[in-house]
Structure 1
Amino acid sequence: MARPSPLSRDEFALFRSLQTRWSDNDIYGHMNNVVHYALFDTAINGWLVEQGFLDPVKSEIVGLVVETGCSYFSEMGFPDRVTAGIRIGHIGSSSVRYEIALFCNDEETAAAQGHFVHVYVVKETRQPSPIPKPMRAALEDFLR
């Protein structure tokens, strides 16, 4: 499988600002690889909460991560500012592939990029559920 090239900011229309933390740095002096996944999750779920599509306590339908991946291109670490670019790679009946790029400070190309696939389920039963129509319409605005 060929290694992807870093994406640029102009390939995204949705952005979320994130801040690194002191505890994000590892013994090697840069942000530990697992933090990238936490930033992906924070960017996506933060947007969903802001849009009114997710209330972690009250929502009857929630997205569960069933697949994820990340490619790393350059180091980040505290106290860098991170901007997450989000776009939608695919929308199924109950699933969404979110594609995320993390941009360090004012850089134009991604320091890391990857994806999350959420399957939307009824929280109580964990059975797949169709994506609600208002959410689907909002996601379609960012479909690439």
Structure 2
Amino acid sequence: MSRPQPEARNAYRHFLPITTRWMDNDVYGHVNNVVYYSYFDTVVNQYLIVEGALDIHAGEVIGLVVETQCNYFGPLAFPQTVEAGLRVAHLGASSVRYEIGLFAQGEPHSAARGHFVHVYVDRTTRRPATLPPALAQALEKLR
């Protein structure tokens, strides 16, 4: 298997600038690896909320993360703006695989890239649920 490589910006359909925080850095002077996953969550959920596809307080369905992964290629640090790129690689009846690239502001290639899979479930029963039309339409724009 070949080693994962950084990707170019044009591989992603949506971008969100995220300002790093002092607390994101670890003792080694760069953003700690676990913080990258919070950036993943931020770009996905911000997109869905702005698109009107996700009601985090009262929506009938919620997304549960069932798989996640990240490859790191270069450091990010405070103070810096991270530009999070987002795309959808797979869209199922009740699941979606998001792929995210994290870029240092203005850089042509990702400092990290990863994915996570959401399975959308009924808020009450926690059983898989068909994607509501507004959610499916918003996700389709990212394919």
Normalised-by-shorter TM-score class = over 0.9
SS at 1:44 equivalent: helix
SS at 1:138 equivalent: helix
Deviation at 1:73, TM superposition (A): 0.2
Cα distance between partner residues in 2 of 1:54 and 1:10: 26
- State the match for 2:83 in structure 1: 83
Q: Which consecutive unaligned segments of at least 5 residues does structure 1 have?
A: none
Cα distance between partner residues in 2 of 1:129 and 1:3: 35
SS at 1:59 equivalent: coil
Output the amino acid matched with 1:123.
Answer: R
Cα distance between partner residues in 2 of 1:3 and 1:55: 38
Cα distance between partner residues in 2 of 1:141 and 1:57: 24
SS at 2:93 equivalent: coil
Segments of 4+ moved more than 4 angstroms? none
Deviation at 1:26, TM superposition (A): 0.2
Q: What are the superposed Cα offsets for residues 3-35 of structure 1, whole Å, 9 maximum, x if unpaired?
A: 211011011121111110000000111000000
1:57 aligns with 2:21: no
Q: Which consecutive unaligned segments of at least 5 residues does structure 2 have?
A: none
Cα distance between partner residues in 1 of 2:46 and 2:141: 17
Deviation at 1:98, TM superposition (A): 0.3
RMSD: 0.9
Cα distance between partner residues in 1 of 2:116 and 2:66: 8
- State the match for 2:136 in structure 1: 136
- State the match for 1:112 in structure 2: 112
Q: What are the superposed Cα offsets for residues 87-142 of structure 1, whole Å, 9 maximum, x if unpaired?
A: 00000110000000000111010000000100000111101001112221221122
SS at 2:78 equivalent: coil
Aligned pairs, number: 143
- State the match for 1:2 in structure 2: 2
> For residues 92-103 of structure 1, what are the structure 2 equivalents within 5 Å?
92-103=92-103
TM-score computed with the length of structure 1 as normaliser? 0.96
Percent of paired sites with the same residue? 51
Cα distance between partner residues in 2 of 1:49 and 1:40: 14
Output the amino acid matched with 1:107.
Answer: E
